[in-house]
Amino acid sequence: MDKITMNGMQFYGYHGAFPEENKLGARYRIDVELHLPLDRPGRTDQLEDTVNYAEVYERIKTIAEGEIFKLIEALAERVALMLLQTYTNINAVTVRVLKPHPPVAMFFDGVAVEIHRKRA
């Protein structure tokens, strides 16, 4: 299956299990893979035959910056569900959410979840 990959999208959201995270917020990074056939847009060279990634970005931004989740797993699930419901030409999605600076007394580059969902 062909795919469109959008990597390193950054958003400022208020997600987390601790009240301080919901108040102060933090930067999150989201990567998505959109699995869909790209042969038709490859032949027609028409935007309406594919997925407009600028629109996808804005829809993800609305979720990441406008909704609040306790878990990044829930954020990833919400993004995946929105993509599959909004774009019927997408057959499957992979969503990766990275929380670069979780409020824990450990030293590492961050924590990430990655989910893969496909159309039933």
State the catalytic residues: 99
Distance CA 2, CA 115 (A): 18
In 42-55, which positions are buried (b, 16+ CB within 10 angstroms) versus exposed (e)? eeeeeeeebbeeee
30 Cβ contact partners less than 8 Å away, ≥ 6 residues apart: 9, 10, 11, 60, 64, 76, 79, 95, 96, 97, 98
Q: Are 78 and 60 in contact (CB under 8 A)?
A: no
